[in-house]
Amino acid sequence: MELRGEPEPIRCDEALSGVFSLLGKRWSGMVIGVLLARPARFGEMARAILGITESMLSTRLSELQEAGLVEREVLTGPPIGSRYRLTERGQALRPALIELLKWAHRYLMPDR
């Protein structure tokens, strides 16, 4: 409602704030992007995401697991290990991330 010609205050949607508080953290989007290709072991992801440290990858994977976007599968081996995959909830991000990728290629990398 406008009062004396003043516009109503602008507010950020609470859901959008939640999205960016989770996915806006450095590396989170890239972890999800790698897992969109296929489930992967920890070492594969560490090699695929240039610049991420193993401790940061571990932290981001834990956060994404807590949010229900990623799940960890223990592999009995040999060799014993873990594989990470997106949950149905994580896979639901695919259309949005594909659109962000298109936007990035068009507006962030126009000379390439």
User: What are 73's strand-pairing partners?
Assistant: 83
Residues 16-56: tens digit of each pLDDT: 898 888 899 999 999 999 999 999 999 999 999 999 999 99
pTM over 0.95: no
Q: So what's the architecture of 14-107 in CATH?
A: Orthogonal Bundle (1.10)
Q: Are 69 and 29 in contact (CB under 8 A)?
A: no
Residues 6+ apart with CB under 8 A from 39: 73, 83, 84, 85, 86
Hey, where are the domains in the chain? 14-107
Buried b (16+ CB within 10 A) or exposed e, 30-57: bbbbbbeeeebebeebbeebeebeeebb
pLDDT value of residue 28: 96
For residue 70, give both structure tokens.
Answer: 């990623």
